[in-house]
Amino acid sequence: MIKEGSKLYVRIDSRVKGKKATNQDFMDHMSFVNDLAKERYFAGGAFSGVDGGMILLEAENLEEARKCLLKDPIIERGLYEFELYEWDLVVVSDDIEA
């Protein structure tokens, strides 16, 4: 459960110009992120209408986050590049009923 004071990191992905990912690349990426989501707080998804996405994950520090995220097959294969930011969580909503 994420809470105020948690150390979170945001990865913003963009495709490397001239590179094309295959279905296998995407399946390998999805396997990687699903496994990562089993280990720690994780949220991720693609941007609508833009070739890129965002990952939010919990880590001890920036170096741990970077080491972990560099193992993503789409990064290892040079298909996508990313920027990584430490994100200070300030407000967390209580459970909201719809």
Q: Is residue 74 part of a domain?
A: yes
Q: In what order do the strands lie in the sheet with 52-58?
A: 42-46, 52-58, 7-15, 80-88
Number of domains the chain contains: 1
pTM of the shown model: 0.85
The mean per-residue pLDDT over the stretch 91-95 comes to 71
pLDDT digits (tens, 9 = 90+) for 40-51: 889 999 999 988
Residue 18: give the domain boundaries. Answer: 7-88
Q: What is the pLDDT of residue 89?
A: 77
Q: Is residue 42 part of a domain?
A: yes
User: Residue 35: left (phi > 0), alpha (psi -120 to 50), or beta?
Assistant: alpha
